[in-house]
Amino acid sequence: MCSLALFPPPLPSGNTTLCESNNELLSGLNGEDTFQVTGHDVNYIILPFHHYWHDFLHFGGYHSCHNLWLACFVESGNTHLLACMCVHHFLLLIDSEDMIAEFSQVLNWPDCVVRAFAWHPHTDKFAVALLDDSIKIYNPKSATTPTLKHRLQRNVAALQWKPLCASGLAVACQSCILVWHVDPCSLSTRPSSGCAQVLSHPGHSPVTSISWSPSGSLLVSASPMDTAMMVWDVAAENCVPLQRVGGGGVTLLSWSPDGSHVLASTPSALFRVWETRMWTCERWPCIKGRCQSGCWSPDGSRLLFSVQGESVIYALTFTHFGSSVVADLSETTFNAQNGDIVVGGEIQNLAWDPKGERLAVLLKGDPHAADRPPMIAVFRTRTSPIFELLPCGFVQGESGDEPRLIQFHPNFQQGALLTVCWSSGKISHVPFYFLSARVPHFGFNGSPLPRPQERFNDFANQSLYTEMLS
């Protein structure tokens, strides 16, 4: 079993994780303009993002950042591997005075500047739900940033793009689910509320979790106040409530990547795993608390989950039923320059990259103790021949920034790209460069989802390092 004691120590204060390359997490100092890391014949040029940041601090523009981000995607195929960390600073979006007012009135409000985040499953665009209940869509290939506003769009809890569709975006709101259809070719920056479908069912609010089937045909939604979970046929706007006794509401939903199972956790110490052929479920009672977070392996055969009040990761397999502890994340003390730092404890969120090779764990930390900050621990994972977790390292932001939300890019060609939303309102993308051990990527029902622009040739020379070092 893997534990935090095996991890490399966290970075000293002021250093920021930039990327993973050659099995190492690279970091840089905040104040530097350019980072140049040389080693193993490959030059890593870390772009000076601070300038850009200042640019749009002053001008409020995003284009520079988009260009930079675009550079990351476009040029990463060249021999000069660009590692970049792009920063979107969302504090700019809200009037600072209003924001301060918000901060002063509500203690924890600054924690949710970015309330939800979703990568598009097929393209490089993403949607961000903000504090003021608006949603912005960023697309590196388009100069416009549509802002979505709707009178029913209140307290956005989750976002998800519809698979096998260019435009559908489901939003879990206070009273309903909104499904936006944002034409990717449209130049409009404010799509009208007519572009949104409203899905509501009496008693089904607030909606806290939504999940699309990987085939794009169905949407499931959950509310902690409703014991039934809804299966929506979105286009036809009708729903089938699926009700089971016990648990009292549904808090979290997650559809497995192969489409065969859905995880549904309840507010009590019980979660269910539904199979999607005949929609029957298995009950999994937990001992301590509710299932806090869960993520699926790419082939849908294994579910990793964490339980509230426990600091371990469990794995559940469906080939031979049973759950086991795979990682122990109990508190571990690391010695740093400026005092000891304690990492570990309860788990807030789990994210597994679509290739199944990196697992990011967001640790809650203790908000009242300065030496126990929230932390992102990243594991290397291997699913065959046996399931294994190996330590990779901690991902850290600038000093004072706490991670709030993590998500992997669904199809990053050169490895995995972890997106982190920080407490300050920044969003950063941390690339993990590696060569996938599993060459065929199995998608829906065992059929492959080919990655059209896969460029193995470009990486032929770099693969050696990964192999040698591992």
Tell me which of 94, 164, 336, 464 binds another protein, using CB under 8 A: 164
| Residue 450 in the binding site for another protein (CB under 8 A) | yes
Q: Which is nearer to another protein, 127 or 234 (CB)?
A: 234
| Residue 236 in the binding site for another protein (CB under 8 A) | yes
Q: Which is nearer to another protein, 3 or 123 (CB)?
A: 123
| Residue 203 in the binding site for another protein (CB under 8 A) | no
Nearest approach, Cβ of 410 to another protein (angstroms)? 12
Q: Which is nearer to another protein, 236 or 287 (CB)?
A: 236
Q: Which is nearer to another protein, 258 or 353 (CB)?
A: 258
DSSP conformation class of 173: -
- Crossing angle of the two packed helices 49-59 and 63-75, in degrees rounded to 10: 150
Tell me which of 67, 215, 461, 463 binds another protein, using CB under 8 A: 215
Of 64-72, 203-211, 276-284, 338-346, the segment contacting another protein by CB under 8 A is 276-284
Tell me which of 448, 456, 463, 467 binds another protein, using CB under 8 A: 448
| Residue 32 in the binding site for another protein (CB under 8 A) | no
Tell me which of 122, 149, 438, 441 binds another protein, using CB under 8 A: 122
Q: How many residues bind another protein (CB under 8 A)?
A: 39
In whole angstroms, give the CA distance from residue 17 to residue 419. Answer: 12
Q: Which is nearer to another protein, 123 or 147 (CB)?
A: 123
Instruction: Say which residues have a Cβ less than 8 Å from residue 191's Cβ, sequence separation at least 6.
Output: 146, 148, 180, 182, 183
| Percent helix / strand / coil, the chain, rounded to 5 | 15, 40, 45
- ω into 206 cis (within 30 of 0): yes
Amino acid identity of residue 290, one-letter, is R
Q: Where are the beta strands (DSSP E) in 276-331?
A: 280-285, 291-296, 302-307, 312-317, 322-328
Tell me which of 100, 240, 390, 468 binds another protein, using CB under 8 A: 240
- The SS3 call for residue 69 is helix
Structure tokens belonging to residue 87: 């920063």
Of 128-136, 241-249, 262-270, 416-424, the segment contacting another protein by CB under 8 A is 241-249
Contact between 3 and 328 (Cβ < 8 Å): yes
Nearest approach, Cβ of 165 to another protein (angstroms)? 6
Tell me which of 67, 280, 461, 470 binds another protein, using CB under 8 A: 280
| Residue 216 in the binding site for another protein (CB under 8 A) | yes
Contact between 60 and 77 (Cβ < 8 Å): no
| Residue 390 in the binding site for another protein (CB under 8 A) | no
For residue 354, how many C-alpha atoms fall within 13 Å in the half-sphere facing its CB? 26
Of 31-39, 127-135, 159-167, 359-367, the segment contacting another protein by CB under 8 A is 159-167
Pairing state of beta strands 347-352 and 312-317?
A: unpaired
Q: Which is nearer to another protein, 92 or 165 (CB)?
A: 165
In whole angstroms, give the CA distance from residue 78 to residue 75. Answer: 6
Q: Which is nearer to another protein, 39 or 440 (CB)?
A: 440
| Residue 278 in the binding site for another protein (CB under 8 A) | yes
Q: Which is nearer to another protein, 287 or 439 (CB)?
A: 439
Residue 129 has φ and ψ, to the nearest 5°, of: -100, 130
Contact between 370 and 82 (Cβ < 8 Å): no
Tell me which of 11, 196, 231, 351 binds another protein, using CB under 8 A: 231
Q: Where are the beta strands (DSSP E) in 329-409?
A: 332-336, 339-343, 347-352, 358-363, 375-382, 388-395, 403-408
| Residue 233 in the binding site for another protein (CB under 8 A) | yes
| Residue 449 in the binding site for another protein (CB under 8 A) | yes
Structure tokens belonging to residue 58: 């002053």
| Residue 193 in the binding site for another protein (CB under 8 A) | no
CA 409 from centroid of its chain's CA atoms:
8
Nearest approach, Cβ of 238 to another protein (angstroms)? 5
Q: Which is nearer to another protein, 222 or 234 (CB)?
A: 234
Of 2-10, 75-83, 100-108, 158-166, the segment contacting another protein by CB under 8 A is 158-166
Taking phi over 0 as left and psi of -120 to 50 as alpha, with beta for the rest, 428 belongs to beta
Residues that bind another protein (CB under 8 A): 120, 122-123, 164-166, 184-185, 215-218, 231, 233-243, 259, 276-280, 444-452
